[in-house]
Amino acid sequence: MSEKREIFRKYISQQGLKLTRQRQVILDEFLRMEAHLSTEELYLKVRKKHPHIGYATVYRTLKLLAECGLAKERDFGAGQTLYEVTHRGQHHDHLICTECGEIIEFEDLRIEELQKQVAKKYDFTIRDHRLEIYGRCSKCSSS
Amino acid sequence: MSEKREIFRKYISQQGLKLTRQRQVILDEFLRMEAHLSTEELYLKVRKKHPHIGYATVYRTLKLLAECGLAKERDFGAGQTLYEVTHRGQHHDHLICTECGEIIEFEDLRIEELQKQVAKKYDFTIRDHRLEIYGRCSKCSSS
DNA sequence: GTTACTTTGATATTCAATTTCACTGGAGGG
DNA sequence: CCCTCCAGTGAAATTGAATATCAAAGTAAC
Ligand SMILES: [Mn+2]
Ligand SMILES: [Mn+2]
Ligand SMILES: [Zn+2]
Ligand SMILES: [Zn+2]
């Protein structure tokens, strides 16, 4: 938590930017959330305690957080981009329930390895990837 | 080709819809294209021979084609949805060059199998999935 | 305090996706 | 072959998220 604030502080100063009150408030509120949330959702959260902070500032701060690696932008095809806190650089992919919207995170190193093999076959240099599995979660299947 | 027209015809009639000139023109033009194309691109193609056909009709017909399984909707995160012709139900995933936009298709049954294992672990019923690998193609890497 | 910035936040703009609605035209029944 | 009805069409409007704009406010160095 505090370690992440430090990362942000350093990034801000490296870039010649300023550590403003708004940015700190937004960062704190973002770190407090778990799971995946949209700019709109974070904006509404922030707004409760700090009604003066504007949508544009939340939007720009989330971009900053993504730049410095504290946040990961996710587009699950639901019309709006979601953000999530990145935990010590660990990568993961998602199972997404199209019924109730639940998002389950998973990692599978075997799949990651096979992706590398595929890329190699086509002489392709991987920068990033996304694997999303859509369907029904256990709760929605049983009901 | 003709077989696909038949599939469309059947779907249309099953749904109590009408096989209009516009829909046939759009279907034919769509089947003639290879690779991935946007609604806009197909619209422009169609327009050349049939300037009277509107964008909304192309848009709606692509939705129909997706519904009956002749087309697959793809969102590669580039701001607009792309469509591609589905060839005899074969699934594939994509390597996407973020430099030049080239899209390479691949299938890897081992990855597909591992996805099933992951889903099973979480008691999740797979309906669909997307795996996209972003990076640089061989051409862009060498230059 | 003055200067030279950056940041903020209300608002405007963009752009694809989608909807609207008055007019048109397939297709089945006669 | 003609009717009639209801789905289809297409120009235009609307939506909604993402992003840009810009005047006012804030910040830090001089
Ligand atoms: Mn996640
Ligand atoms: Mn493809
Ligand atoms: Zn569910
Ligand atoms: Zn390339």
Tens digit of pLDDT for each residue in A117-142?
Answer: 999 999 999 999 999 999 999 999 98
Are the C-beta atoms of residues A30 and A68 closer than 8 Å to each other? no
- Where on strand D do bases come within 7 A of a protein Cβ? 7-12, 16-21, 26-28
Residue B118 belongs to what domain range?
93-141
Q: For position A9, what pLDDT does the model report?
A: 94
CATH code for the domain in which residue B11 is found = 1.10.10.10
Pairwise CB contact (< 8 Å): A133 & B126:
yes
Q: For position B87, what pLDDT does the model report?
A: 85
Judge if B79 and B105 occupy the same domain.
no
Q: Identify the closest residue of chain A to B111 by CA–CA distance.
A: A111
Q: Which of B62, B85, B108 is the last residue of a domain?
A: B85
Judge if A104 and A57 occupy the same domain.
no
Judge if A134 and A104 occupy the same domain.
yes
Judge if A123 and A57 occupy the same domain.
no
Asked if the Cβ of residue B19 lies within 7 A of any atom of strand C, the reply is yes
Judge if B35 and B53 occupy the same domain.
yes
Find the nucleotide nearest B80 (Cα to C1′): C16
How many angstroms separate the CA of A67 from the C1' of D27?
23
Q: Which of B42, B59, B85 is the last residue of a domain?
A: B85
- Average pLDDT for chain A: 94
Judge if A104 and A127 occupy the same domain.
yes
Radius of gyration of the CA atoms of chain B, in A: 18
In this prediction, the residues of chain B whose per-residue pLDDT falls under 70 are 1, 88-89
Judge if A76 and A116 occupy the same domain.
no
Judge if B53 and B30 occupy the same domain.
yes
Asked if the Cβ of residue B56 lies within 7 A of any atom of strand C, the reply is yes
Judge if A75 and A105 occupy the same domain.
no
Residues of A in contact with B98 (CB under 8 A): 127
Judge if A78 and A124 occupy the same domain.
no
DSSP calls for B109-142? HHHHHHHHHHHHHTT-EEEEEEEEEEEE-HHHHH
Pairwise CB contact (< 8 Å): A133 & B141:
no
Judge if B17 and B75 occupy the same domain.
yes
In this prediction, the residues of chain A whose per-residue pLDDT falls under 50 are none
CATH code for the domain in which residue B101 is found = 3.30.1490.190
Are the C-beta atoms of residues A46 and A53 closer than 8 Å to each other? yes
Residues of A in contact with B118 (CB under 8 A): 95, 106, 108, 111, 133
Pairwise CB contact (< 8 Å): A130 & B131:
yes
Overall domain count for chain A: 2
The span from the CA of B72 to the CA of A76, in Å, is 17
